[in-house]
Chains A and B, each alone.
Chain A
Protein backbone atom coordinates (compact mmCIF):
# COMPACT_ATOMS: atom_id res chain seq x y z
CA UNK A 1 0.00 0.00 0.00
CA UNK A 2 1.37 3.41 -0.95
CA UNK A 3 0.75 6.54 1.07
CA UNK A 4 -0.30 9.80 -0.56
CA UNK A 5 2.49 12.37 -0.73
CA UNK A 6 2.33 14.91 2.05
CA UNK A 7 0.88 18.26 0.98
CA UNK A 8 3.16 21.28 0.70
CA UNK A 9 1.33 23.20 3.43
CA UNK A 10 1.79 20.34 5.89
CA UNK A 11 5.49 20.14 4.98
CA UNK A 12 5.90 23.88 5.58
CA UNK A 13 4.17 23.52 8.96
CA UNK A 14 6.49 20.67 9.91
CA UNK A 15 9.55 22.62 8.71
CA UNK A 16 8.44 25.52 10.90
CA UNK A 17 8.33 23.18 13.86
CA UNK A 18 12.01 22.50 13.23
CA UNK A 19 11.84 19.33 11.11
CA UNK A 20 14.65 19.62 8.50
CA UNK A 21 13.40 16.62 6.50
CA UNK A 22 10.17 18.47 5.71
CA UNK A 23 12.00 21.34 4.04
CA UNK A 24 14.28 18.84 2.29
CA UNK A 25 11.18 17.21 0.78
CA UNK A 26 10.05 20.59 -0.54
CA UNK A 27 13.49 21.13 -2.07
CA UNK A 28 13.37 17.69 -3.72
CA UNK A 29 9.88 18.44 -5.01
CA UNK A 30 10.62 21.84 -6.54
CA UNK A 31 14.33 22.21 -7.21
CA UNK A 32 14.01 21.05 -10.80
CA UNK A 33 11.09 23.37 -11.60
CA UNK A 34 12.79 26.30 -9.86
CA UNK A 35 16.02 25.69 -11.75
CA UNK A 36 14.04 25.40 -14.99
CA UNK A 37 12.37 28.77 -14.38
CA UNK A 38 15.70 30.39 -13.49
CA UNK A 39 17.49 28.87 -16.46
CA UNK A 40 14.81 29.84 -18.96
CA UNK A 41 14.65 33.37 -17.57
CA UNK A 42 18.38 33.97 -17.29
CA UNK A 43 19.58 31.70 -20.12
CA UNK A 44 22.78 30.99 -18.22
CA UNK A 45 23.35 27.76 -16.31
CA UNK A 46 25.75 29.23 -13.72
CA UNK A 47 23.47 32.14 -12.92
CA UNK A 48 20.45 29.85 -12.88
CA UNK A 49 22.22 27.63 -10.35
CA UNK A 50 22.99 30.62 -8.12
CA UNK A 51 19.46 32.01 -8.46
CA UNK A 52 18.00 28.60 -7.52
CA UNK A 53 20.15 28.42 -4.40
CA UNK A 54 19.31 32.00 -3.52
CA UNK A 55 15.58 31.35 -3.94
CA UNK A 56 15.56 28.33 -1.64
CA UNK A 57 17.75 30.12 0.89
CA UNK A 58 15.39 33.10 0.94
CA UNK A 59 12.39 30.77 1.18
CA UNK A 60 13.96 28.98 4.14
CA UNK A 61 14.82 32.24 5.89
CA UNK A 62 11.32 33.65 5.41
CA UNK A 63 9.32 30.46 5.75
CA UNK A 64 7.33 32.04 8.58
CA UNK A 65 5.91 34.60 6.17
CA UNK A 66 4.44 31.85 3.96
CA UNK A 67 0.66 31.94 4.25
CA UNK A 68 -0.56 28.47 5.10
CA UNK A 69 -3.30 27.69 2.61
CA UNK A 70 -1.61 29.37 -0.34
CA UNK A 71 0.42 27.38 -2.86
CA UNK A 72 4.07 26.77 -2.06
CA UNK A 73 4.88 26.45 -5.78
CA UNK A 74 3.52 29.94 -6.50
CA UNK A 75 5.47 31.35 -3.55
CA UNK A 76 8.79 29.75 -4.46
CA UNK A 77 8.36 30.66 -8.14
CA UNK A 78 7.71 34.28 -7.15
CA UNK A 79 10.87 34.33 -5.03
CA UNK A 80 12.81 32.77 -7.92
CA UNK A 81 11.41 35.23 -10.42
CA UNK A 82 12.43 38.17 -8.23
CA UNK A 83 15.91 36.69 -7.79
CA UNK A 84 16.17 36.41 -11.58
CA UNK A 85 14.93 39.99 -12.06
CA UNK A 86 17.62 41.23 -9.68
CA UNK A 87 20.24 39.39 -11.70
CA UNK A 88 18.89 40.71 -15.00
CA UNK A 89 18.93 44.25 -13.61
CA UNK A 90 22.51 43.78 -12.43
CA UNK A 91 23.44 42.53 -15.88
CA UNK A 92 21.87 45.63 -17.41
CA UNK A 93 23.78 47.90 -15.03
CA UNK A 94 27.11 46.23 -15.73
CA UNK A 95 26.48 46.15 -19.46
CA UNK A 96 25.75 49.88 -19.31
CA UNK A 97 22.89 49.54 -21.70
CA UNK A 98 19.53 47.92 -22.05
CA UNK A 99 19.38 44.25 -22.80
CA UNK A 100 18.20 43.44 -26.27
CA UNK A 101 14.48 42.74 -26.38
CA UNK A 102 15.25 39.50 -28.13
CA UNK A 103 17.96 36.99 -27.59
CA UNK A 104 20.77 37.35 -30.08
CA UNK A 105 19.57 35.61 -33.25
CA UNK A 106 23.08 34.67 -34.42
CA UNK A 107 24.13 31.87 -34.66
CA UNK A 108 20.40 31.64 -34.45
CA UNK A 109 18.12 29.09 -32.97
CA UNK A 110 16.25 29.22 -36.26
CA UNK A 111 19.34 28.13 -38.18
CA UNK A 112 20.20 25.45 -35.69
CA UNK A 113 16.71 24.13 -35.48
CA UNK A 114 16.48 22.69 -38.96
CA UNK A 115 17.80 19.36 -37.84
CA UNK A 116 16.09 19.39 -34.46
CA UNK A 117 13.03 17.48 -33.47
CA UNK A 118 9.79 19.24 -32.60
CA UNK A 119 10.45 19.62 -28.87
CA UNK A 120 13.94 21.02 -29.36
CA UNK A 121 12.63 23.34 -32.04
CA UNK A 122 9.91 24.56 -29.69
CA UNK A 123 12.51 25.07 -26.96
CA UNK A 124 14.70 27.05 -29.37
CA UNK A 125 11.69 29.17 -30.30
CA UNK A 126 10.88 29.82 -26.61
CA UNK A 127 14.51 30.85 -26.05
CA UNK A 128 14.24 33.33 -28.91
CA UNK A 129 11.27 35.11 -27.29
CA UNK A 130 11.73 38.43 -25.46
CA UNK A 131 12.34 37.95 -21.74
CA UNK A 132 8.83 38.91 -20.56
CA UNK A 133 7.18 36.47 -22.98
CA UNK A 134 9.74 33.75 -22.29
CA UNK A 135 9.02 33.93 -18.57
CA UNK A 136 5.27 33.84 -18.98
CA UNK A 137 5.54 30.84 -21.32
CA UNK A 138 7.87 29.09 -18.84
CA UNK A 139 5.41 29.64 -16.01
CA UNK A 140 2.57 28.47 -18.24
CA UNK A 141 4.66 25.35 -18.82
CA UNK A 142 5.20 24.87 -15.07
CA UNK A 143 1.80 25.88 -13.75
CA UNK A 144 -0.55 25.07 -16.63
CA UNK A 145 -3.63 27.22 -17.13
CA UNK A 146 -3.53 28.66 -13.62
CA UNK A 147 -3.41 32.21 -14.82
CA UNK A 148 -4.07 33.77 -11.40
CA UNK A 149 -1.01 32.04 -10.02
CA UNK A 150 1.15 33.11 -12.96
CA UNK A 151 -0.08 36.67 -12.35
CA UNK A 152 0.82 36.36 -8.66
CA UNK A 153 4.33 35.12 -9.43
CA UNK A 154 4.99 37.91 -11.89
CA UNK A 155 3.17 40.57 -9.88
CA UNK A 156 1.14 41.53 -12.94
CA UNK A 157 -2.61 41.98 -13.48
CA UNK A 158 -4.41 38.90 -14.78
CA UNK A 159 -5.32 40.66 -18.02
CA UNK A 160 -1.68 41.54 -18.69
CA UNK A 161 -0.64 37.92 -18.14
CA UNK A 162 -3.27 36.71 -20.60
CA UNK A 163 -2.20 39.33 -23.13
CA UNK A 164 1.49 38.39 -22.70
CA UNK A 165 0.62 34.73 -23.10
CA UNK A 166 -1.43 35.42 -26.20
CA UNK A 167 1.37 37.46 -27.76
CA UNK A 168 4.00 34.96 -26.71
CA UNK A 169 2.11 32.18 -28.45
CA UNK A 170 1.63 34.34 -31.53
CA UNK A 171 5.38 34.92 -31.69
CA UNK A 172 6.06 31.25 -31.04
CA UNK A 173 3.83 30.26 -33.94
CA UNK A 174 5.60 32.78 -36.15
CA UNK A 175 9.04 31.53 -35.11
CA UNK A 176 8.03 27.91 -35.55
CA UNK A 177 6.66 28.79 -38.98
CA UNK A 178 9.93 30.45 -39.93
CA UNK A 179 11.82 27.37 -38.75
CA UNK A 180 9.59 25.15 -40.88
CA UNK A 181 10.29 27.26 -43.98
CA UNK A 182 14.04 27.31 -43.44
Chain B
Protein backbone atom coordinates (compact mmCIF):
# COMPACT_ATOMS: atom_id res chain seq x y z
CA UNK B 1 0.00 0.00 0.00
CA UNK B 2 2.70 2.44 1.04
CA UNK B 3 5.68 3.32 -1.12
CA UNK B 4 8.84 5.23 -0.33
CA UNK B 5 9.31 6.19 -3.99
CA UNK B 6 9.64 9.84 -4.96
CA UNK B 7 6.35 11.66 -4.70
CA UNK B 8 6.00 15.30 -5.81
CA UNK B 9 3.34 15.72 -3.10
CA UNK B 10 6.00 14.89 -0.44
CA UNK B 11 8.14 17.66 -1.82
CA UNK B 12 5.23 20.10 -1.84
CA UNK B 13 4.37 19.24 1.79
CA UNK B 14 8.01 19.60 2.84
CA UNK B 15 8.12 23.00 1.14
CA UNK B 16 5.18 24.42 3.09
CA UNK B 17 6.26 27.31 5.31
CA UNK B 18 5.87 26.91 9.05
CA UNK B 19 3.13 28.83 10.79
CA UNK B 20 4.36 32.13 12.24
CA UNK B 21 3.93 32.12 16.03
CA UNK B 22 2.26 35.15 17.62
CA UNK B 23 4.52 37.95 18.79
CA UNK B 24 5.67 37.57 22.36
CA UNK B 25 5.11 33.82 22.53
CA UNK B 26 8.80 33.02 22.89
CA UNK B 27 9.26 35.64 25.59
CA UNK B 28 6.30 34.34 27.57
CA UNK B 29 7.59 30.75 27.31
CA UNK B 30 11.02 31.80 28.51
CA UNK B 31 9.54 33.79 31.39
CA UNK B 32 7.55 30.74 32.46
CA UNK B 33 10.50 28.36 32.22
CA UNK B 34 14.21 29.12 31.90
CA UNK B 35 14.10 32.77 32.91
CA UNK B 36 11.36 32.46 35.48
CA UNK B 37 12.12 35.06 38.15
CA UNK B 38 13.04 33.54 41.48
CA UNK B 39 10.36 34.14 44.14
CA UNK B 40 11.12 36.78 46.77
CA UNK B 41 10.82 34.26 49.59
CA UNK B 42 10.91 30.49 49.82
CA UNK B 43 8.00 28.50 51.24
CA UNK B 44 9.86 28.03 54.55
CA UNK B 45 10.42 31.76 54.83
CA UNK B 46 6.71 32.44 54.22
CA UNK B 47 5.82 29.91 56.95
CA UNK B 48 8.30 31.53 59.37
CA UNK B 49 6.97 35.02 58.61
CA UNK B 50 3.40 33.82 59.11
CA UNK B 51 4.31 32.25 62.46
CA UNK B 52 6.10 35.39 63.65
CA UNK B 53 3.15 37.55 62.57
CA UNK B 54 0.70 35.26 64.40
CA UNK B 55 2.77 35.36 67.63
CA UNK B 56 3.11 39.14 67.39
CA UNK B 57 -0.65 39.50 66.90
CA UNK B 58 -1.31 37.24 69.88
CA UNK B 59 1.05 39.25 72.12
CA UNK B 60 -0.55 42.52 71.01
CA UNK B 61 -3.98 41.05 71.78
CA UNK B 62 -2.77 40.06 75.26
CA UNK B 63 -1.55 43.58 75.97
CA UNK B 64 -4.73 45.17 74.60
CA UNK B 65 -7.08 42.85 76.50
CA UNK B 66 -5.32 42.51 79.86
CA UNK B 67 -2.72 45.21 79.99
CA UNK B 68 0.84 44.57 81.19
CA UNK B 69 -0.15 42.14 83.96
CA UNK B 70 -1.71 39.53 81.67
CA UNK B 71 1.18 39.88 79.23
CA UNK B 72 3.84 39.34 81.91
CA UNK B 73 1.87 36.46 83.46
CA UNK B 74 1.52 34.69 80.10
CA UNK B 75 5.20 35.07 79.25
CA UNK B 76 6.17 33.77 82.70
CA UNK B 77 3.85 30.78 82.29
CA UNK B 78 5.30 29.94 78.87
CA UNK B 79 8.88 30.32 80.09
CA UNK B 80 8.21 28.19 83.19
CA UNK B 81 6.49 25.42 81.25
CA UNK B 82 9.28 25.37 78.63
CA UNK B 83 11.99 25.21 81.29
CA UNK B 84 10.22 22.36 83.12
CA UNK B 85 9.70 20.42 79.88
CA UNK B 86 13.26 20.83 78.66
CA UNK B 87 14.74 19.86 82.02
CA UNK B 88 12.84 16.55 81.97
CA UNK B 89 15.18 13.75 80.82
CA UNK B 90 12.38 11.55 79.43
CA UNK B 91 11.00 14.40 77.28
CA UNK B 92 14.45 15.14 75.91
CA UNK B 93 14.97 11.46 75.11
CA UNK B 94 11.67 11.33 73.19
CA UNK B 95 12.55 14.50 71.29
CA UNK B 96 15.93 13.03 70.34
CA UNK B 97 14.30 9.77 69.23
CA UNK B 98 11.79 11.69 67.08
CA UNK B 99 14.50 13.82 65.47
CA UNK B 100 16.66 10.79 64.73
CA UNK B 101 13.72 8.92 63.18
CA UNK B 102 12.83 11.91 60.98
CA UNK B 103 16.44 12.16 59.81
CA UNK B 104 16.59 8.41 59.13
CA UNK B 105 13.33 8.48 57.10
CA UNK B 106 14.55 11.49 55.11
CA UNK B 107 17.52 9.41 53.89
CA UNK B 108 15.06 7.06 52.13
CA UNK B 109 12.52 9.57 50.81
CA UNK B 110 15.04 12.00 49.34
CA UNK B 111 13.65 14.89 51.38
CA UNK B 112 16.00 17.85 51.29
CA UNK B 113 15.98 20.77 53.66
CA UNK B 114 14.80 24.00 52.01
CA UNK B 115 18.33 25.43 52.12
CA UNK B 116 19.67 22.91 49.58
CA UNK B 117 16.66 22.85 47.24
CA UNK B 118 17.43 24.04 43.69
CA UNK B 119 16.44 27.53 42.59
CA UNK B 120 12.97 27.84 41.03
CA UNK B 121 14.45 28.45 37.58
CA UNK B 122 16.07 25.01 37.58
CA UNK B 123 14.20 21.86 36.54
CA UNK B 124 13.02 19.79 39.51
CA UNK B 125 15.34 16.98 40.70
CA UNK B 126 14.94 13.46 39.34
CA UNK B 127 13.01 11.19 41.71
The answer to whether A and B come from one shared complex is: yes
Residues of A within 8 A of B (CB): 15-16, 18, 20-24, 27-28, 31-33, 35-36, 39-40, 45, 48-49, 52-53, 56-57, 60-65, 118-119, 122-123, 126, 137, 140-141, 144-145, 162-163, 165-166, 169, 172-173
28 A–B contacts, CB within 8 A, in A order? A16-B123, A18-B121, A18-B122, A20-B35, A24-B34, A27-B34, A32-B18, A32-B21, A33-B18, A35-B19, A49-B21, A53-B25, A56-B33, A60-B32, A62-B123, A64-B123, A65-B126, A119-B15, A119-B16, A122-B12, A122-B13, A137-B13, A141-B14, A145-B4, A162-B1, A163-B1, A166-B1, A169-B7
A122 with B16: CB separation less than 8 A = yes
Residues of B within 8 A of A (CB): 1-2, 4, 7, 9-10, 12-22, 25-26, 28-30, 32-35, 118-119, 121-126
Closest chain B CB from A148 CB (angstroms): 13
- Complex: A15 Cα to B36 Cα, angstroms: 14
Q: A31 to chain B: which residues have CB within 8 Å?
A: 21, 25-26, 29
B125 with A64: CB separation less than 8 A = yes
Q: B34 to chain A: which residues have CB within 8 Å?
A: 15, 20-24, 27, 60
> Of A18, A40, A52, A61, which is within 8 A of B29 by CB?
A52
> Of B2, B19, B124, which is within 8 A of A61 by CB?
B124
Which of chain A's residues has its CB closest to B33's CB? A60
Closest chain B CB from A94 CB (angstroms): 23
- Complex: A22 Cα to B20 Cα, angstroms: 23
Q: B19 to chain A: which residues have CB within 8 Å?
A: 32, 35-36, 39-40, 48
Q: A61-B124, A64-B126, A122-B13 are in contact. Are A36 and B18 (CB under 8 A)?
A: yes
- Complex: A101 Cα to B26 Cα, angstroms: 32
Q: B118 to chain A: which residues have CB within 8 Å?
A: 18
B33 with A27: CB separation less than 8 A = yes
Q: B33 to chain A: which residues have CB within 8 Å?
A: 23, 27, 56-57, 60
A27 with B15: CB separation less than 8 A = no
- Complex: A166 Cα to B1 Cα, angstroms: 8
- Complex: A19 Cα to B44 Cα, angstroms: 25
- Complex: A52 Cα to B32 Cα, angstroms: 12
Closest chain B CB from A156 CB (angstroms): 14
Q: B13 to chain A: which residues have CB within 8 Å?
A: 122, 126, 137, 140-141
